[in-house]
Amino acid sequence: MQKKAELYRGKAKTVYTTEDENRLILHFRNDTSAFDGQKIEQLDRKGMVNNKFNHFIMTKLEEAGIPTQLEALLSDDEALVKKLDMIPVECVVRNVAAGSITRRLGVEEGLELNPPTFEFFLKNDALHDPMVNEYHIRSFGWAKDEDIARMKELTFKVNDVLKTLFDEAGMILVDYKLEFGLFNGEIMLGDEFTPDGCRLWDKETRNKMDKDRFRQGLGSVVETYEEVANRLGVNLA
């Protein structure tokens, strides 16, 4: 499948139309951004690592019965996906407190959250992705009741699958963000699941193995993503 026209250039990926009006090509660029796009850097190999990582994870999720955008890996840094009608909210599950929840609620980083907690955020950089609740989503018409329920159900199902997957590879899945969209009326997982959109800590040392390395200037960002991929058995060749 060939790229036709650029549809959207995001902070980390470029989206292209194809000859098939129901399929898109996602190009994973090396651009890495944080703080709503205020800190941006090019990191060698990141597009390739994230594209292959995302393909590996979405394949695991499909195998577990979670509907995703997944169609095919096209090249090192491009994937063919279903064109979803994206719902403009981010679904976040947290198993351990880190990031914004520590600042909002004044809790210590590392506090175990049992049961895991769930939050919705509006996807809007200009407003700094504010937290919203289900009433906002309904009142502003961002999604219907049954789609909200399905996004929550699938986000928790992803947790069941991935917590175990990362645990068996020596990592703690601290938190993650998912984006969903509609395809022929069905909610499907879109966008990406990579170390750019989740937090992963080494089980023994609690070293950060995700985008916090970039946010906090800890260095070895892509090398650490590659380490995560190697531990899971993702083929980066």
Site residues (vs ligand ADP, CB under 6 A): 8, 10-13, 15, 24, 69, 81-84, 86, 179, 181, 190-191
Binding partner of 175, given ligand ADP, ligand UDP, none, CB within 5-8 angstroms per partner class: ligand UDP
The interface region with ligand UDP, picked from 81-89, 99-107, 140-148, 219-227 by CB under 6 A, is 99-107
Which residue's CB is nearer to ligand UDP, number 48 or number 198?
Answer: 198
Q: What is the distance between the alpha carbons of residues 38 and 226, in angstroms, rounded to a whole number?
A: 25
Q: Please identify the residue of the shown chain whose CB is closest to the bound ligand UDP.
A: 99
Angle made by CA atoms 106, 109, 113, in degrees to the nearest 5: 90
Residues numbered 197 to 216 that lie near ligand UDP (CB under 6 A) are: 197-199, 211
The interface region with ligand UDP, picked from 12-20, 71-79, 98-106, 163-171 by CB under 6 A, is 98-106
Which residue's CB is nearer to ligand ADP, number 68 or number 95?
Answer: 68
Contact of 198 with 218, CB cutoff 8 Å: no
Widest pairwise Cα distance in the chain: 50
Which residue's CB is nearer to ligand UDP, number 74 or number 198?
Answer: 198
Residues 6 or more apart in contact with residue 40 via CB below 8 angstroms? 11, 31, 32, 33
Residue 106 gets the label, from left (phi > 0), alpha (psi -120 to 50) or beta, of left
| CA separation, residue 196 to residues 31, 153, 156 (Å) | 11, 23, 19
* 99 lies in the site for ligand UDP, by CB under 6 A: yes
Q: What is the distance between the alpha carbons of residues 7 and 219, in angstroms, rounded to a whole number?
A: 33
Could you tell me the smallest distance in angstroms from the CB atom of residue 138 to ligand UDP?
22
* 100 lies in the site for ligand UDP, by CB under 6 A: yes
Q: How many CB atoms lie within 10 A of CB 236?
A: 14
Give the footprint of ligand UDP on this chain (CB under 6 A).
90, 92, 99-101, 129, 175-177, 197-199, 211
